[in-house]
């Protein structure tokens, strides 16, 4: 099944007019942030879809050391989920323009990942999303948990000369270049739920 989404079609989509209080910076080593990534009704629908997914344990090791511990499921590109792909792609298109990144983005290859970080130290160590594919250009995270539902689990980006805590409350949408190192600190209690998407294009040169 072809999961590429033509950006011309996205650009002509109707605008979702709700409060999206935006915070933006102006260089490649920064991120774009929506305090309200999707509408309240869309957030409920996304959560309901994710609740029906079959999740598997995902643990990864590098040189014998565990660097990711989470549970994941995937949203197939189908009639039920197509609107989620389109909505998030539209946000990425806007961020790419507003930030002045002007990356050549062509569509979506990877399925949307739904991820849960549970207590007992669910986490993801420092990594670049390019490690999973050089086609990735822009990374997207939509937070599906309130800050009261878990302890720990901060999301961070490494923006020289140090790391930066990024917003972690429900419906926060964080968009950043896929080459920026990022991590999720261990969740100490509760469950942190996140939707991850990677928009693709020709590899950086």
- What is the per-residue pLDDT across 120-152, written as a single tens digit (0 to 9) for each? 777 788 999 998 778 999 999 999 999 999 999
> How high is the pLDDT of residue 139?
97
Domains of the chain: which residue ranges? 21-200
More confident residue, 102 or 4: 102
> How high is the pLDDT of residue 14?
33
> How high is the pLDDT of residue 21?
43
- State whether CATH 2.60.120.620 applies to domain 21-200: yes
Look at residue 20 and tell me whether its pLDDT is greater than 70. no
Question: Looking at the DSSP assignment, which residues form a beta bridge with residue 70?
Answer: 58
E strands, the chain, in order = 22-23, 32-34, 56-62, 65-75, 112-118, 122-127, 136-143, 150-152, 155-159, 162-165, 173-177, 182-200
Across 16-20, 21-25, 180-184, the highest mean pLDDT is recorded for: 180-184
Element (H, E) at 13: none
């Amino acid at each position: 099944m072809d999961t590429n989404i033509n950006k011309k079609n996205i650009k002509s989509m109707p605008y979702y007019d709700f409060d999206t209080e935006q915070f933006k910076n102006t260089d490649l080593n920064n991120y774009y942030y929506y305090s309200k990534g999707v509408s309240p009704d869309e957030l409920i629908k996304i959560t309901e879809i994710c609740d029906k997914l079959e999740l598997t344990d995902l643990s990864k090791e590098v040189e014998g050391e565990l660097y990711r511990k989470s549970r994941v499921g995937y949203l197939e590109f189908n009639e039920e989920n197509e609107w989620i792909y389109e909505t998030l792609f539209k946000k990425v298109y806007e961020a790419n323009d507003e930030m002045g990144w002007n990356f050549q983005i062509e569509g979506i290859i990877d399925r949307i990942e739904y991820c849960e970080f549970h207590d007992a130290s669910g986490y993801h160590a420092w990594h670049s999303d390019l490690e999973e594919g050089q086609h990735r250009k822009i990374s997207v995270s939509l937070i599906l948990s309130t800050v009261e539902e878990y302890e720990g689990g901060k999301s961070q980006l490494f923006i020289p000369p140090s790391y930066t805590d990024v917003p972690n409350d429900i419906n926060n949408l964080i968009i950043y270049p896929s080459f920026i190192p990022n991590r999720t600190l261990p969740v100490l209690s509760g469950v942190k739920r996140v939707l991850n998407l990677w928009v693709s294009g020709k590899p950086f040169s």
